[in-house]
Amino acid sequence: MNSDHTYKKSELGGTSRHIAGIAKYLKEKYGTIIIGVVPVQGSTIPGTKRLETKPKWFFKVKVDEVVEITEEEAFKGVVKIARSDCSLIGMSSGRSLLPTKK
């Protein structure tokens, strides 16, 4: 696996345990670039928190970049997956689709 082209993006939700666990494992094993996803200021995407809420685990691992996503961008991600894969996903999954395009 070539770490120069290996990316993992994950939203910051709940305690941020998901991104922390994935970041720790993939960085140690493959040197993966980790991109966190948060809603833009004033935007609400179900299941996602901003860094100002001080997610419990986020600051214990190295996240290379944090990308802000609007509700509209998250919804566009939902529509894109629905059209391309015939899968119905929620806004929280749609928000994770776009960060590498920003």
Taking only the tens place, the pLDDT of each residue in 31-76 is 888 888 888 888 877 777 777 777 777 777 888 888 888 888 888 8
37 CB-near residues (< 8 Å, 6+ apart): 9, 10, 11, 12, 48, 66, 67, 69, 95, 96, 99
Q: Taking 70 as the threshold, does the pLDDT of residue 19 lie above it?
A: yes
Distance between CA atoms of 18 and 42, rounded to whole angstroms? 23
Q: pTM to 2 decimals?
A: 0.67
> Comparing C-alpha atoms, which of 52, 43, 49 is closest to residue 15?
49
Q: How confident is the model at residue 98 (pLDDT cuts 50, 70, 90)?
A: low
Look at residue 13 in the predicted model and tell me its pLDDT.
Answer: 57
Look at residue 2 in the predicted model and tell me its pLDDT.
Answer: 45
pLDDT > 90: what percent of the chain?
0
Given its phi and psi angles, is residue 54 left (phi above 0), alpha (psi -120 to 50 degrees) or beta?
left
Q: Taking 50 as the threshold, does the pLDDT of residue 5 lie above it?
A: no
- Tell me how far CA of residue 72 lies from CA of 37, 39, 69, 78, in angstroms: 14, 10, 8, 10
pLDDT > 70: what percent of the chain?
75
Distance between CA atoms of 30 and 92, rounded to whole angstroms? 26
